Every structure is written in C-alpha cells, then in structure tokens.
Structure 1
C-alpha cells in the first residue's frame, strides 16, 4: 500500500508566509526575502511529508498567493493592463491578485471567486482576444528540482487544462473553443518538459469533472487529453479529481491512457457505485481519496480499511490518498495548548493526517489489522459517546412550525412602510459592517484574552473606538452607520465563542485567500445561545447618533459553512439549531431599538452541491428557510439586510430573493457587475447594493469611477431599490485608504442624487 497527498498547506505552521507577504507589500522587506521564506517553507513541508512516509509528495502546490493565478502565469495568461505596468514578474503577479495604484499606473485586481464548494477563494484568470497561451514559466520544474536537491522525489501538481479553460473568464469576442488548441499545445509542451526533467509522475488537478458535464463538455475533455496524452512517454500522468464524483465521464476516464486516476470517496456520493458498476482497469493506479481533506475529525479506520479491502479484492492497484488538498485544514494540533487532551484526541489537522495515512498504510499491509493496537485505539474512539447532546435544543427545534419560516406582511408592503419610517434618502449609503482592525485594536483584544487588562478596560477601549468610528461616519455623511466591530475577531469565530456547542483553537489557521487566514470554530455539539451577544455594543453605538445604526450578525448558514461541522448529524440539523440561536439575537436587537439588522450570509453558496440536480433537496430546501427562521419574528418596520460575497450567485437569484430579506448587498465590482443582468432578468424584489468598489485591493476608487459604476447599476436596478456600499467589510484595510474610499463613495452618491 502506498500513500499520496494531493496538496499541503502553504502558509506555514504559524502563518510565516502571510507575515512575510504583508511585509513585502509594505516595502519592509525585499523580493529576495519573501522568495527565501517560500523556499524555507517548501523545504519544511516536503521533509514533514517525507518523514511521515508519504510515497507521493506534491510540489508546485505551494503558492505565494493562489494556485490558479500561478497556472495562468505559467501559461502566459496575463492581461495587457498588467503587462503594461512594466513591473517585475513578482510585482506583476501581485498586481493581478491585489490591484496596483502607483507610479506605474492604476489597475484593479482580477476577479476572485470561491474554489468550488470551499471557503478558499481563487483568482479568476482573464483571457483577452489577443492573449497568446503558451508555456511561459518554469515554476513546476524549479520546485521539482528544488525538492530533488533535498533528496525528495515529488509529483508536480498543475491545474488541469479542462478546469483551467472552464474557470477562465473570456473578455473579448473569442470563446473557450478559440483557445482549446493553444491550451493543448501548452500542456503538451509542459508534459514534454516533464519528460526532459525525468519527472516520474505529474498530477493534473481536474475538479471541474465533478460538476454536471454536457455532451459538449465531455467532447472538450476528450479533445484536450487525447492530444495531451499522445505525447506521453516515460512520465506517468495522475488525473486527480476531488469535491465529488465523476459520474458523467467515469466510464470514459478508465479507458483513457492515464496512469492513475484520483477519486474522492468522501464527497463523491457515487464513487463506490461507479467503481462497482464499471470496474477499474488493472493496468492503472486508483488513488483512493479516503482521508477527508476538508474536515478536522479523525479518520474512521474501520470504514477506510473496509473500502481498501474491497478494492484489493477486486484486484485494483490502490494508493491511499487524501480526498482533496490539505490546504483546507489547519497545519497541526501541536500548538493547541488550551483544548483538553480529550478534545484533541478526536482531531487530525494536516500534519496529523499524515500520521493517520502512515498508520492506515501499516494496517492495510497487516495480516490481521483488527488485532493491531492502532486499530483498536481508533475503534474505541469512535465507539465512545461524546458529550454533545442537548435535550432542550432538540425539544425547541421540534416545536418549530411552518409559520415560523414566514414573515408577515409580504415584502412589498414592508418596503413601503420602511421607507416612510426610516426616512432614508435616495441611494442610501452604508458600509458592510467592519472597519479596519488596527494594531491597537488587536493589541487590546489580545491583552484582554491574556488577562493583562480587565473587562472594564477592554470595553472602555472599544467604546472609545466605536465613538470615533460613529463620529467619523457622521462627518463624511454616510446614511446608515455601523459600529465598526472592534470587539470582534473573525465574523464566525466571534459568534461561535458566544454560543454553546462550539470549540475554539489558538493557532489552527486556514488560508481563505492570499494573506487572509481564518480560524474556523469547531462545532462539537448541539448549538444554543446562552445570553445576548451583540446587543450591548449596538445599543451603545445607537446612543451616540440620531442616524440609524445597523445591528450586525452572522447568519446560520455562514456560521455552519465557515466552521468545521460535526459528522455525526446532518448539516440541515446543525444549521437549524444555529438559526434558532440567531433568531433570539435578532429579536433582542429589535426589542432594544435597533431598526436595521444585517444578518450576513457571505457563505450561502459554499455548500451548494456542485451538481444542479442536488441543489434543492440537499441544500436550498433547508438553507433558505433557516435564514427566514432567523428574522420571521420581527415587526414590519424593522429592516432586515443580508450580505453575500465572492461566489457565483447568478444561477440562484430566485433562491436568494426567497430569503425574504428587505435589502441585500453583493460583491460585484471584481466581476464587472455581471450579477446585474441576472437581477433584472429575475425581477429581483429585494432592495440591493452591489458593491461599488473592491475592498480586497488597497487601491482607492475615484469619485468618477464610483459614479460610472452606479450609472451602470441604474440601467438594471430601479432607483428606489439601489443602495451604495463597498463590496465587503473593511477590517483588512488600512485607515487612510478606507477613509478616502468612503469619502469618494458618499460624494458619488450625491452626484447620482443630483442627476435626478
């Protein structure tokens, strides 16, 4: 039995890459230093896997920002506006990821979207009509030879040609079919160079195969790989899939001359059925994704070994693999000093999963694994009951009725009443919620957590920051204010800490995008609200102003999707429990005089099944009602907002409208407001604020730029329904750029109002 890892976390065990990158952006270190940080981390990651006995170790899974962006650069897919900046290769790369505003020019960043059904965001490659696609870089070969010099044989990982073509954005008149031949040639050249470097295995990641595939899609895949594989000689090709099953093309894949095929047995609902029905060739290797790469619970050895045993009985040559890249889990449990040994005994982060792969390999090779100590210990863990059940939570959930999912009166009537009661101007301006989390804010929170300051001192500092934030918002003329969220760390972690049923880590960071890392809470047991969470801060902020202060909450779907979920109950049940807890908070905010309440569902699409046939029954049929449950009890005059970002929402617009919010804000600027056509087409009833500028970039939008964006919006959205806001929270930005951007936003709204 051999073992394989699809990919490994790249930020470092203590976020070394994040901190080096941020120093480089601030010009505190030179390019050589950040490049050295990357080299040091790669060495550590490769050696860690080698010491764990992993047989197939990946290279080129490391990225300074994003692997899809790396692939675009590898094949020369760099839009003209970035090339014309005449920056270094590294700075051109970062300009594509973050935008650029300086002596060389002013460009926005490329669009950013969610990576399939994960919380990771990828950079969307942009192909112009004049783009010349060809093998232009050496990164896979440089990293392969770097590892080889350390005595470590690796398999370079490259996003596959089919997935690349499907995820690119085509900005001109040409389409995917116009670039297929060029992409084929580029991948053939890549494979030839692998042969020249005597690379034994190369891994092509093709997660797009787990989505619905049309006859045309299957033909496109064949056209690509029939040609690419025709130049294969000594190098072996692993076609790696993940995040689901490949039911539409499995029968074809097993007939094609791949040397190995990686299948997901965790999220692939039909993977077992496909192998059972169509078999698997004896001349290929099946890389069986049986180690969950997206969750932190330990592997159930008995179940895994049963699957491996069935494969061996069929004579299938199997390699035990992760189900996807370990990018989606934290690095190691070694830095967790506050969680008890009991809790930690249930968890396996990336490094611990390597140990599990090693143990499973040994057990699979054992003559009688059921007698082995490691097997017995694992079996006992799963046989023991966890203290995670609440009779009160289950009783309350059982009493929820159909009426609890419906808000009265209907939205059109509420909107008329709200316009009268709230008295907002046309094109009301607001922000999404958070303001910059400066060093003093983080230091205050850290000091309080470490017991260095009292609760009174902690709160006094935050109230001072809130007062400053409210005063500044009034000064520039925002219409609906926020309190800045200085008491909060991550939007999900903050609520999880205040709810029963969650566990929290100290250093379990996971990369969300670029330098942005989060520490997802762990849902250990049944979830409930113990006491009010945000009311004190919102009431204090409202007391400082006569303008309307938004209450800021995170919705149940996002809390679930941005946490590590339980595996012993359904996602539906977990979301419903959280929805009742948030409902309590909504009603308390309303009772305390908060007239606008924003319930963010940034991650609504995240667990949407990748196949449309599963959308309703397996997700939307309970996720949308769960959101309605949070706000159905408020009065007609209370305005409910929600927010969503960095996903493709155009195909679920009717479901979003069915959430029955009064106002929704979207991320829209990075994708050139493509969502607007869908809103118009579906006669979207909810008032809407498509973000007018991208907060994930440090560049400052001009008044003219925002005015132009609003004019485009008004061609698709009725003026009485349009709000003006950034596309996301501002916590990751610096104060100067935030202030200048928001002043321009308010000025732009005034220009639009003056135009009638």
Structure 2
C-alpha cells in the first residue's frame, strides 16, 4: 500500500492576513505592481514551506489566488467581458481587478456563493469571446515551486464541468465545452512538459443532482479532454457531498478520484459498497473535515479508512481533508487568549494536517495509539419551551401592511440602507485602543455616540426615509452577537476569506445558546432619539448566525437554530418595547445553507424558516419586520422567502438585475421588497440615471406600494466619500421616480 499525505488546498491569507493587506495596499496605489507581485510570491512560497514542514508528501499549487480562483480560470482563458475593453490599455492586473471590483465605467462581474459555503466567487461571463490560454499561471507557479524550493507540486484548478456549470451567458454548453477543452489540454501539456506528474481538476459540481443528459455531458467532456492526453495524470477531485451517478462517473478516463467521506460519507460509502472502486485508480480519501474546526476522533477515522481500503482494493491512497482547507483558519497556535478547554477541542488547517500524519502513521506502525475521544461531548441540552403559536404573526400581511403604512407614513419608494456604514480608520483604531485598554469604556462609548450622531445627521441631510445607527460598535454581523450570547467562544486570529480580500472570524458555538441582556438596544434607542424618522433595529438572523459560525457537532443544527431563534426573540421584544417600529433581521446565509441536492431541501427549509419565525413572530402587527439576503438566486427561492412572513425583504439586484426581473415575471412576489440598486462591493459610484433605470425596469414586475430602494448590502467596507455620493444619487433617483409616478397618475 502506497500512502500519500496531501491536501486539496491550503489557506492563502497568511498568518496575519498578509495577503489581504497586500491586495488592499496595491488597490490604494501604495505599492507598485512589481512590488505587489513580489509580495504575493513571498506569500505563496511561505505557505508551501509551511506545508513541507508539516510533513505533507504532495503539495498543491493553484490553490492560491490574486482574488478568486473562478476569476483566475476565466481570465487565464481570456473570458473577459467586452465592457472592460477600456481597461485593456493598462496591465493585465488592471483588467483582472476591473472584473472583480468594477470601474467607473463598468460594473463588476456578478458574485455569488460557492456551493453551500460562505465563500463568494466571481461568476464568469461568456459572450462568444475568442478564447485562448493568455497566461498559464499554473505553469508559472509550478516552475516557481520547483526552482525556488525543489518541489514537484500538484497543480490544481477548477475542472471543466464545474467551470462550465457556473459560467453564465452561453446558450449551448457543448459549444462552450468545445472551446474550452483544447485550452485545458494545453494547460496540462505545458505542465507535463515541465515535469508535473498529476493535475487535480476540482469538480464539486459533480456532487449535485445530475440528470442523464448531464451525466452524458460530463462523460463527453472527459473523453474529449483525455484524447491525446499528455503524460501527467488527472485526479478528479470532488467535495461537499457524495459523488453523483457514482457507477458511471467513478469510471471516467482519469487516473484518480477524490471523494468526500465527511459531508458525503453516507452516499459515497453506500456507492462503494454497491459498485466498488476501480482498482487501477488512485483513491483520494477526504477523511478529515475540511470545513469545521473540531478535532477528529482519530480511532474512528482509522476504522473508516480501513473499511474503505477493504472496499476499494486501491493500491495507492491519498489521505486528505474532505475539501480545501481555505474554509478553516490556519492554526490554533495563534489563539493565546482562548480558554484551554475550548482550544483543546479545536483543529484548524495545520492541526488537520497533523491529524492526517497521525492516521497514516498508525497504518505504517500498527498498534500506535490514536486519540479516540475527538471532541469532548457536551452535557445534554436544555429543552426549549416553545409552542406552535410562537411561529405565527398575529395577523396576515394584508392586514399588517395597512396598519404599518398608517403608523410609518412613508413616501412611495421609501429609501433606506442595509444597516452598516463605513468602518473608517478612526473607527477601527478607536475600537482597537479600547480592546487594548488604552482608552476607557466611557471614552469608547462617547466616540460611538458621536459617530452615530454624525451619521444620523448625514442620513437626514441626504433625505433617506428610514435610517440606521451605522453599527460602529460592531466588527462583524455574526461575531458581534457571538460576543453577547451565552454558548459562544471567540478567536483572535481565526480568519477565513468571505470574498475578495474580505476576511471574517466566525465565532465558535460550543454550548447551549441563550440571551442574557439587551445586545443592540442602547445604540438603537440612542439613534432613534436623534431623529423623527424611523430608525431600524438591526439584528442578524438565527440561520445566518448558525451558518456563519463554527457549530458544535454533538447536537443537530436544527436544535442550535431554535436556541438562536429564542435568544433573538427576546432581543426583538426589547427593541419593540423601546418604540423601535422597524426591525431588520438579516438572513443572507439562509439560502447558502441549502443542501446541495434539491431532494434534501425540504427538511432544511422547514426548520430554518421556523427558527426565523420563532425569532420574529412575537411582535405586534404595527411593528414592521425586514430581512436582507445578498446574492441570492431569487428565482428558485421565492416560496421560502414568502414563508418567512416578513413585511419587507431587501435583496441584491445591481449585478443580476435582468435575472431578477425575469424571476418576478415567472414567480410574482406580493410583499414589500427592497431592491439593491447599486453594488457596494465595487468602489465605483453609480450615476442617478443608472439606478433610475433599474427602478423603472422593476416597476414592470412590482407595484409601487411594494417597492423600497436601497443599496445591495451593508456599507461598512466602503469609503465615506463613495458612500455619501452613491446614496445621494440613490435618493435623487427615487425622487425622480416619485415624480414620474405622479405624472403618470395625473
């Protein structure tokens, strides 16, 4: 038996987020392009050295990126939308980052969630462009690792089926495949000529439910790909679920297949028992959880690995995590303040590699003792006291709508924002000084009050109709609540990438969740006292807190969601009693938590929606409940959104406006809806005309009474001048729309 210890991918952000700082310094113009590229090279080589030191046998290249790996693939193949033609006079990087972030004259490419994770990828756009391998970055990085470190690495890239599946704009996938397959072959050939033994094609789309036609398409793609194939071998890597159509796809003309035996354990083990595994192929066993942070029960994992060996009869086995480790933090060694009891339960990326080493060592040295405890189990959770009535609003929306309209007296097309305002350098430095005890609690509270008042005045001056307090006291929309609720632990440096250079520190749910005191009341009530206009209470919903946390694994996620729902219900009661008339409970992660297969959606949605309604259904009819979802595929999610029974939902439409209009034509939505009329993830300032066009188009599918106007997400990552200018345009566009409607009515 030949054992190979490897990983699908390793975090690229650096121990102290050096990668993030490097990108942002370049975007600001603080470093030259040459210096920027040298810094990225240092980060790439440093992470390879680290994995060497940890004892891996086979290291990956291509798991690094300058923004996003789907964007890398599109850019390498010249799949550049025509609207960026004006950027072609600059460097390659100017075009690349224009696609990611937009420019003054061109909106950024659409961004959406990577399967059921909290990572966002850039959606490739095919317009019939002439495609070619413009620059083989994999080849550059392969040679870099060989020449600088003496390593023969495993190049990895997004596989052809997944890339085609996630690309938009084409009508005939067979024609697009015919364009792309020669390019994939060229990349393989160039790598093979330089000494690459394997290339890993990541195909997570193969775990989705595949029709017979899709299975035939996949087979056709790989048959064409491997005609006149170069010498390097192909590892077909799947993750996030079990391989679909196993009997056929496990026999694709590739030399190895990687399977997820964590999230996809049940299906993959059942398939192997029924169909076996080709003895001539290498089996890559994803046995250590690549997406959660709890220590593995190594004795249990060793037993599973042995059973897989008995089933597969494979001579060569790669032992690896179930997915790329980019979804977990780098190392627990950076957590100096965390409770030893909690820290002892955790395994981040480096610790997971150590677990792989221990597993392989136990097979090479039989009798070696293995940790059989894994995660220390919690005591039994306390039973929640909830009843069926706790999930229902007192009156239906048709009645609530009139009651709320009379109370709020808002104009048609009311304008608002999603919640957060720019977290300026001063905000971040003041918070840091407070956390380091360099300023007093009173001094910090006074600063937050001043910043809140300043932004209330700015919103009033801009003419916004419904205001927010700005969330200057919050670092992150989930981490903030993790600090306030029982059952959570927080980290110091457990960063993971959410999108682009945006990194978050998911809190850790390790015990029963409960509410102990108001979490948002002080700041919200203080802001409301400064204005006659309504100020929204701002909360993060139970499912988003769940999905954007590392969650205990000794009870069901459903039970944790209900615990969160009860805790948030108490917070909402406090806000309502204080006179807050609009309360927004954001659920941007509701859809991303969907199982990857539709057959499993119903069970998840049942408890996910119930946990939200548990949080929000205790209010009076006159209290208006909002929610927000960003980058949600609205077209197939209208019914679940309706089931939330909110009064207003705000969603992203700036990057995918045409798709949104089409969705509502097919599936009408009757409650209030706030359109994200401009993209906050781009530094560009959209014009009034651009936003007005989106609003006017939307009136084809929405009644004026339904229609709210807002940006597509929170504004914490934007600069103040960008924010004010964009909101001024948004408010002016809404005023023009009101005038247009009045004229039409007259």
Indicate which of 203, 227, 231 corresponds to 2:200: 203
- Equivalent residue number for residue 96 of structure 1: 99
Partner residue in 1 for 2:28: 26
Q: Is structure 2 residue 661 aligned with structure 1 residue 665? A: no
3-state DSSP class of the match of 2:155? strand
Relative to the length of structure 1, the TM-score reads 0.96
Task: Determine whether 1:598 maps to 2:584.
Answer: yes
Q: Counterparts of 1:527 and 1:465 in 2: how far apart (Å)?
A: 31
Q: Which residue of 2 aligns with 1:243?
A: 240
* 1:119 and 2:118 correspond: yes
Corresponding residue number in structure 1 for 2:726: 741
Q: Which residue pairs with 1:47 in the alignment?
A: 49
Deviation at 1:311, TM superposition (A): 2.1
Mapping 1:558-597, distance limit 5 Å? 558-597=544-583
Any residues of structure 2 matched to 1:400-411 within 5 Å, and which?
400-411=386-397
Q: Does 1:450 align with 2:449?
A: no
How far apart are 1:477 and its partner, in Å? 0.3
- The answer (yes or no) to whether the contact 1:673–1:690 under 8 Å persists in 2 is no
Report SS of the residue matched to 1:231. coil
Deviation per CA, 1:348-393: give whole Å up to 9, x if none: 1111211111111111222223xx2xx1xx22454x544x655xxx
Q: Which residue number corresponds to residue 181 of structure 1?
A: 178
State the distance in 2 between where 1:11 and 1:136 align. 26
Matched position secondary structure for 1:153: coil
2:208–2:244 Cα contact (<8 Å) kept? no
Structure-1 residue corresponding to 2:684: 699
1:521 corresponds to which residue?
Answer: 507
2:62 corresponds in structure 1 to: 60
Alignment of 1:283-298 (within 5 A): 283-298=280-295
- Deviation, structure 1 residue 198: 2.2
1:535 maps to what in 2? 521
SS for the counterpart of 1:674 is helix
Aligned counterpart, 1:328: 327
Residue 79 (structure 1) shift:
1.1
For residue 282 of structure 1, the aligned residue among 264, 279, 286 is 279
Q: Tell me the CA shift for residue 233 of structure 1.
A: 4.0
After alignment, is 312-321 or 180-189 more displaced?
Answer: 312-321
Kept in 1, the 8 Å contact 2:116–2:594? The answer is yes
Q: CA deviation at 1:254?
A: 2.6
Asked if 1 retains the 8 angstrom alpha-carbon contact of 2:295 and 2:374, the reply is: no
* Pairs within 5 Å for 1:388-427: 394-395=382-383, 397=384, 399-427=385-413
Mean CA deviation greater in 195-204 or 698-707: 195-204
Q: Distance in 2 between matches of 1:672 and 1:713?
A: 9
Aligned 1:616-655 pairs, distance under 5 A: 616-617=602-603, 619-655=604-640
Q: What does the per-residue CA deviation read over 1:566-593, in whole Å, with 9 as the maximum and x for residues that have no partner? A: 1111110111100100000011100000
**Contact 2:456 2:468 survives alignment (8 Å):** yes
Structure 2 length-normalised TM: 0.97
Task: Spell out, residue by residue over 1:242-293, the C-alpha distance to the aligned partner (whole angstroms, 9 max, x if none).
Answer: 1101132x11123222111000011113011011110001111110101111
The CA distance in 2 between the partners of 1:311 and 1:421, in whole Å, is 64
Give, in whole Å, the separation in 2 of the partners of 1:495 and 1:238. Answer: 42
Cα distance in 2, alignment partners of residues 630 and 313 from structure 1: 48
Residue 677 of structure 1 and its aligned partner are, at CA, apart by: 2.6
Is the contact made by 1:389 and 1:526 (CA closer than 8 Å) also made in structure 2?
Answer: no
Secondary structure of 2:655 counterpart = helix
Partner of 2:473: 487
Kindly state the Cα deviation for residue 673 of structure 1 after the two structures are TM-superposed: 4.2
Could you tell me whether the CA contact under 8 Å between 2:668 and 2:701 is conserved in 1? Answer: no
The CA deviation string for residues 495-536 of structure 1, in whole angstroms up to 9 with x for no partner, is 110000000001111000111000000001010011000011
Q: Per the alignment, do residues 242 and 381 of structure 1 end up closer, same or farther by CA in structure 2, a change over 3 Å counting? A: closer
Cα distance in 2 for residues equivalent to 1:380 and 1:706: 57
| Cα distance, 1:87 vs structure 2 | 2.0
Q: Work out whether 1:459 is the aligned partner of 2:452.
A: no
Tell me what 2:487 maps to. 501
Partner of 2:744: none
Distance (whole Å) between structure 2 residues aligned to residue 311 and residue 640 of structure 1 = 50
Equivalent position of 2:339 in the other structure: 340
- Equivalent residues of 1:520, 1:564 under 8 A apart: yes
| Greater mean alpha carbon deviation, residues 7-16 or residues 193-202 | 193-202
CA contact (8 A) 1:689 1:724 kept: yes
Deviating more after overlay: 215-224 vs 488-497: 215-224
Partners of 2:397 and 2:364 lie apart in 1 by 63
How far 1:197 sits from its partner (Å)?
1.8
- 1:81 is aligned, of 73, 80, 83, to 83
1:698-749 C-alpha deviation (Å, 9 max, x unpaired): 0001011111110111111111100000000000000000000000000000
Measure, in 1, the Cα distance between the counterparts of 2:228 and 2:58. Answer: 23
Match of 1:140 in 2: 138
Secondary structure (helix, strand or coil) at the match of 1:13 reads: coil
Aligned to 2:17: 15
- SS state at 2:718 partner: coil
Tell me which moved more, 175-184 or 327-336: 175-184
Whole-Å Cα distance in 2 between the matches of residues 544 and 379 of structure 1?
58
Does 1:303 find its partner at 2:300?
Answer: yes
Moved more, 189-198 or 321-330: 189-198
Preserved contact between residue 188 and residue 230 of structure 2 (Cα < 8 Å): no
Q: Does structure 1 conserve the Cα–Cα contact (< 8 Å) formed by 2:210 and 2:244?
A: no
Shift of 1:401: 1.4
Q: Distance in 1 between matches of 2:532 and 2:309?
A: 71
Does 1:260 find its partner at 2:256?
yes
Q: CA RMSD in A?
A: 1.3
**Contact map agreement 1:247 1:274 (CA 8 A) in 2:** no
- Per the TM alignment, residue 191 of structure 1 is displaced from its structure 2 partner at its CA by 2.1
Deviations 1:141-183 (A, max 9, x none): 1101111111112111110010111100116xx4323312111
User: In terms of mean alpha carbon deviation, does 671-680 or 178-187 score higher?
Assistant: 671-680
Q: Could you tell me whether the CA contact under 8 Å between 1:525 and 1:566 is conserved in 2? A: yes
Rate the CA distance shift 1:673–1:726 in 2: closer, same or farther, 3 A.
farther
1:459-516 Cα deviation digits (max 9, x unpaired): 1100000100001100110000000001100000001100000000011110001110
Deviation per CA, 1:322-341: give whole Å up to 9, x if none: 11100101111121110122
Conserved in 2, the CA contact under 8 Å of 1:46 and 1:152? no
The answer to whether the 8 A contact 2:79-2:131 is kept is yes
